[in-house]
Amino acid sequence: MNSQRLVLDSSPLNYFTRSGQLPTLAKLLDGWTCVITRAVEDELLCGASKHAQLYQATAQPWITMVDEAPLGYLPIFSLWHDRLGGTERNVGEATVLAYAEFHGITAMVDDRLGRQHGTKRGVSKTGTLEALCQGVRQHVLDVEQAAAVVELLCDHEAYLPCDGPGFYEWAQARGLLD
């Protein structure tokens, strides 16, 4: 990709880790400075009680945990938290989108509602499928490998707009492989 900063939500990390594809995600994000918020770290550690491999996601040398406590950040977080339903379930995603907006960086979010609100607020965002398409364009992996990764992610409960066999058609329809 490039030397931009990226704040990751727990979903991509969760599914790449659980499917054994965390090294693939690291390759896809090579060149990005990757961070997670404390809330995302907490979500991953909480999930580790059921899926022990999630401890790996928080221990990657290419991911740094950041503090999201500056006072100017709090009203933005509150707005995001309300827009995403105001529940504990969406705290991590709200911190990611608020952090991205506050710092003017890219958020890696797969949740449809978060992506929709991100578009409305002008937040730079990417997602799992976009990262895979970027990887194909940059020859990090080929279309068949990307489709296999999508299928593995879906096998580990990732909710994506396509499955592995539908990846190429999905990407082509959006012009993401050109």
pLDDT of 3 above 80 = no
For the stretch 19-31, pLDDT in tens is 999 999 999 999 9
Amino acid 88: pLDDT: 79
User: Is 0.75 surpassed by the pTM of this model?
Assistant: yes
Predicted confidence at residue 108, as pLDDT, reads 97
CA dist 45 and 33 (Å) reads: 22
pLDDT at 23: 97
Phi, psi of 49 (to 5 degrees): -65, -25
5's tokens? 């900063």
Per-residue DSSP letters for the chain?
--S-EEEE-HHHHHHHHHTT-HHHHHHHTTTSEEEEEHHHHHHHHHHTTT-TTHHHHHT-TTEEEE----TTHHHHHHHHHHHTTSSGGGHHHHHHHHHHHHHT-EEE---HHHHHHHHHHT--EE-HHHHHHHHHHTTSS-HHHHHHHHHHHHHTT---SS-TTTHHHHHHHTT---
pLDDT of residue 87: 77
Is-contact 6 32, C-beta < 8 A?
Answer: yes
Residue 142 and residue 44: Cα distance in Å, rounded?
Answer: 29
Identify the pLDDT of residue 1: 40
Query: How high is the mean pLDDT of the chain?
Result: 93
| Termini Cα distance of the chain | 15
pLDDT in tens, 64-119: 999 877 778 889 999 898 988 877 788 999 999 999 999 999 999 999 989 999 99
pLDDT at 74: 86
pLDDT of residue 85: 86
Domains along the sequence of the chain with CATH: 5-126 (3.40.50.1010), 129-173 (no CATH)
C-alpha to C-alpha distance for 28 and 30, rounded to whole angstroms: 6
